[in-house]
Every structure is written in structure tokens, then in C-alpha cells.
Structure 1
Amino acid sequence: MIAALEARYDPALAEPWDAVGLVCGDPAEQVRSVLFAVDPTSAVVDEAIAAGADLLVTHHPLLLTPVHGVPADDPKGRVVHRLVRAGIGLFVAHTNADRAAGHGVSDALAAAVGLVDAVPLEPAAAPGAGLGRVGVLREGISLGQFAEQVAMALPTTPGGVRVAGDPERLVRTVAVCGGSGGSLLAAAAAAGADVLLTSDVKHHPAVDAAEVPGPALCDVAHYASEWPWLPVAADLLHRDLGGQVQVTVSGRRTDPWTFRVDGRLRR
């Protein structure tokens, strides 16, 4: 099982600071059922236990920073204890899944919003691997229409889709990066993108981007931008293992924001 996952999401592609691979569990244990999720939250663990899963595969790490213990009275330690008691392993594919060639997080995002001929925005050494993707829409549409297309393609979240740019701007070439991809704005501009779709864009870079020629910005919830990878990864694992393992995608929304209040515009 671990070999099959690492064959698709090579740990060598991960950032040096990242924490990927098997977090807890016995690599020799037989796995019959796998649950895929973006985040290893307590609600997702509830779901894994209720489903009788043997392995939980998440995109985001549980233990990203160094730890010296996992006591059960600590929120992350409690997750580890609950997984171990239930006999459920935890495997993380994070920045290695971001960079994976052909079936990574940004590949899935690109496909979800209708891009074709997508290639890495920031290539890695391995062929087809790298951060972000840039591709084209089959037909040019306005930025407003593209934003609506994004909203229909991705999970609904309270934050919705935020756009910086003229809604009538023609969009044909699109750069995407699942997760926090604001740092790829210059690469998107160099690739001739009309818009960069990503998450967690900060105020000052967005203001600066509006002052110079370059891509418009389309900002969605971090969770929403990475969710399309889950069914892709689940289907790949199912096929790689000859259909012998049951795979399920979590139904839990792990976007942390719960509601939004739109205030009246003040004069």
C-alpha cells in the first residue's frame, strides 16, 4: 500500500521542510479500505472510524512542525491516539502531491476548471513534475464567466470566489496552483496567463498586481482548491491495486470558515 502511494507521490518531490509519508500505523498491516481527505481533523477521524477504514490518506500533514510527544490531551496527540486505537494508519502526501506529474493537486484543479494542455508553471527536475499548472480553455470567456465556472467546479465555501480584475477581461490562458500559490504570480505573468487561480493571496501582492500588466487574480478557499485531487488520487490507488482495495473520498468539509457577513457599503 505505502509503496503504491509513494510510486505516485514520490517523497523526493517534497519540500525539505515538509512532513510526508506514513505518520502512524504498521506498514506491514493489511489494508482493505482507504479514506481520502484534505485535512486530518477530528471530524475526519470520526468518519474514518465510522467507515471502518484501515488507512486515512490526507493532503495536509498532521505533524508539520517538530514535536517531542503526542499526549492524548493535546489536539494533535489525541488524533494520533484515536487512529492507533482504531487500527487506522495515517499517510500524508503534501508537497510531493503538489509536484506530482500528471496526477497532482494542480493537475486536478486545472482539469476541474476546464483547462487543456496544462503543463507545470514552475517545472521540477522530473518530467512533467513541478508546482502549479498553466493551460488554456477550449474557448475564451470573460473573467466574470471564468469566476462563475470556478464556483461551479469547486466545493462551496463561505469565502466564495474572490476576483481582482476587470470582469469583462478576456480569459483564455489560465494558471492555477492548488493551495497557497501567490508566490507563482510572476511565473504566471511570464507564462502569459490571463488569470491566476489559487488560494490565500495576501492584500499587498494583490494590490501590487493590479498596478502592473499581468494576470487577474482568482482566489478561492485553500480547501476548495485542493479538494479536486481527492477523487483523482482515490481512483488511481484503486486502479493501481487492481480494484482490491475500497477507496472513499471524505464527505467532510474541512474549510475552517463557517459563515460570512457582508456589511453594507458605506459612503
Structure 2
Amino acid sequence: MPVISDVLTALEAAYPPALAESWDAVGLVCGDPAEPVDRVLVCVDPVEATVTEAEEIGAQLIVAHHPLLLRGVHGVPADTAKGSLVHRLIRGRIALYCAHTNADSADPGVSDALADAIGLRVLRPLSPHPAGNTGIGRIGELREPEPFAEFVARVGRALPVTTPGVLGAGDPDRPIRTVAVSGGAGDSYLAAAAEAGVDAYVTADLRHHPAGEHLASLAAVPALVGLTHWASEWPWCGQASAVIRAAVAGNVDTHVSTRCTDPWTIRA
């Protein structure tokens, strides 16, 4: 039977830790690399819902996109939210591994998965690293142009349903062919999307003022499609699952979490 380190080796080849931002916390959070593994849960968020899911399916490893412990901590007591999860994981002999900004920048990575879900042919990174095709975000194109309203509907169909849904900002009749995407919070790349000359920019967590100022620019700027953070990164789970299956084919069951961990649960 494969051991956890076999899975981690495959993940770190696909998502090299060296690509992570200096402030990030990636890698093995808890668990023994030498422990056997025959079932893995892949998810966006390591939270109570996904830890419960891992317990229910008998997974020995959770592979998450977001870190559990991004900030420095001095302890993980069981009477705190994150400490309680660490204790549950250790008691259940469930390892936790996180691939965050290294998965964002990898080729292919988080934004490639988002682009593929939407139906784009990827051309290049939105904010490239100095070498290769690594970097944040992707620029791609549709096979044929379509009106912006239809494109927003396309994005909505491609991604899991969330309570806030998918929002569009722009002329509904504007033809859309070239598109920038960035999984996760992407309003810091609004200028990069505008400079790239794309027709639309798809990302998450767009804030009121940056989005409004972008659209009010006198220059031609991309129309905007706003997603929830979780929905924008969920397609990566399938990509990471495929990495694991290719490395330990037939020996490890991989499960993509279907539990929505988006925090928004009520729409008035």
C-alpha cells in the first residue's frame, strides 16, 4: 500500500513549494508521512465540514488548498476552532497537507482549472513569473465570441452553485472572446487584466471601490465576473485529484469534496 509521502511527492512535483509566496504556509500540517494511505479527500478549505467528511469516508489524508494555520501560532488548544480540528485530525490519524499559492502559480494550477471549467483555451499567465508559464492567473480565449450576458451564464453553469451566485458588471451585449481568470481574491490584478486588453475578467472577492473605479476608467476595460472565493477555486480539487490518481493509480481512492464551504448561506 502507498504511504502518505508517496502522495506528497506527487503533489510537490505538480505544485512545487518553491512557487509559494514568502508569507504563505504550505506543506504537511499534521500527520506521519510514513503512514499507509488508501483514501484521500481533496477540498478547498480545511474546516469542520471537510474534516467530518474525511472521517465519514475513512480518509487518511486531506489535501486542501487553503492553509489551516496561515498565521504564526503559539499553541493549538482543543477549545479553539483551529486547535479542535488539529486534535480531531491527530486522534483520527488523518494527515493534512496544504497547497496554496504554490498551486496558484503552478503550471497547470488553480487558474488553469478555472479556465478549463469555463471552456477557455489558456494562452499565458496573467501575472507571469520570470521564467516558464508559471504565475498568478491565466489569459485564455473562447472558441467563438459570445455576448457578455451569455458568458456570465456560462460561468454560472460551469461552477458549483453558491448562495451569492455569479455576478456580472458590464454591457450585456458586449462580445466576449478573450478572458482573464484568477482563482481566489483577484482585484489586485484588475490593472493587469486591463493592460492585457481582454474582454472580461473572472475572479473572486471583488470589492466595491476597486471594481467601481475599474469600470469608471476612461480607457476600455474588461467586463467583470464576480465569484465567491470557494467556487473560483473548487475546480482545482479535480485537478489535484487527477495528480494523485496518476501517481498511485489503482492503489488510492481520491474523493473531491462536494460540501460547499463558502461562508454565505442566506440570501434575502
Partner of 2:256: 249
Secondary structure (helix, strand or coil) at the match of 2:231 reads: helix
Give the ranges of 4+ consecutive aligned residues of structure 1 lying more than 3 Å apart after TM superposition: none
Query: Are 1:110 and 1:118, in contact at CA under 8 Å, matched by a contact in 2?
Result: no
Partner of 2:27: 21
Q: Are 1:89 and 2:95 counterparts?
A: yes
Query: Are 2:115 and 2:122, in contact at CA under 8 Å, matched by a contact in 1?
Result: no
Partner of 1:63: 69
Q: In percent, how many aligned pairs have the same letter?
A: 56
1:117 to partner: Cα distance: 3.3
CA distance in 2, matches of 1:25, 1:118: 38
Partner of 2:179: 174
Partner of 2:9: 3
1:220 to partner: Cα distance: 0.7
Secondary structure (helix, strand or coil) at the match of 1:145 reads: helix
Query: Are 2:112 and 2:122, in contact at CA under 8 Å, matched by a contact in 1?
Result: no
Secondary structure (helix, strand or coil) at the match of 2:194 reads: helix
Alignment partner for residue 56 of structure 2, among 50, 58, 73? Answer: 50
Amino acid aligned to 1:236: V
1:5 to partner: Cα distance: 1.1
Query: Are 2:10 and 2:243, in contact at CA under 8 Å, matched by a contact in 1?
Result: no
1:138-159 residue CA offsets vs partner (Å, 9 max, x unmatched): 0000110000000000011111
Amino acid aligned to 1:14: A
Q: Are 1:220 and 2:227 counterparts?
A: yes
Amino acid aligned to 1:161: V
Partner of 2:82: 76
Partner of 1:264: none
CA distance in 2, matches of 1:210, 1:242: 47
Amino acid aligned to 2:29: V
Unaligned runs of at least 5 residues, structure 2: 1-6
CA distance in 2, matches of 1:109, 1:40: 20
Q: TM-score, normalised by structure 1?
A: 0.95
Secondary structure (helix, strand or coil) at the match of 2:161 reads: coil
1:231 to partner: Cα distance: 0.9
1:237 to partner: Cα distance: 1.1
Query: Are 1:36 and 1:57, in contact at CA under 8 Å, matched by a contact in 2?
Result: yes
Unaligned runs of at least 5 residues, structure 1: 262-267
Secondary structure (helix, strand or coil) at the match of 1:34 reads: strand
Q: Are 1:131 and 2:118 counterparts?
A: no
Secondary structure (helix, strand or coil) at the match of 1:35 reads: strand
CA distance in 2, matches of 1:146, 1:62: 34
Superposition RMSD on alpha carbons, in Å?
0.9
Query: Are 2:11 and 2:243, in contact at CA under 8 Å, matched by a contact in 1?
Result: no
Amino acid aligned to 1:13: L
CA distance in 2, matches of 1:30, 1:127: 35
1:242 to partner: Cα distance: 2.9
1:204-225 residue CA offsets vs partner (Å, 9 max, x unmatched): 1111111122111110111000
- In the TM superposition, 1:94-133 aligns within 5 A as 94-102=100-108, 104-133=109-138
Query: Are 1:238 and 1:247, in contact at CA under 8 Å, matched by a contact in 2?
Result: yes
Secondary structure (helix, strand or coil) at the match of 2:40 reads: strand
Secondary structure (helix, strand or coil) at the match of 2:63 reads: strand
Q: TM-score, normalised by structure 2?
A: 0.95
1:243 to partner: Cα distance: 3.0
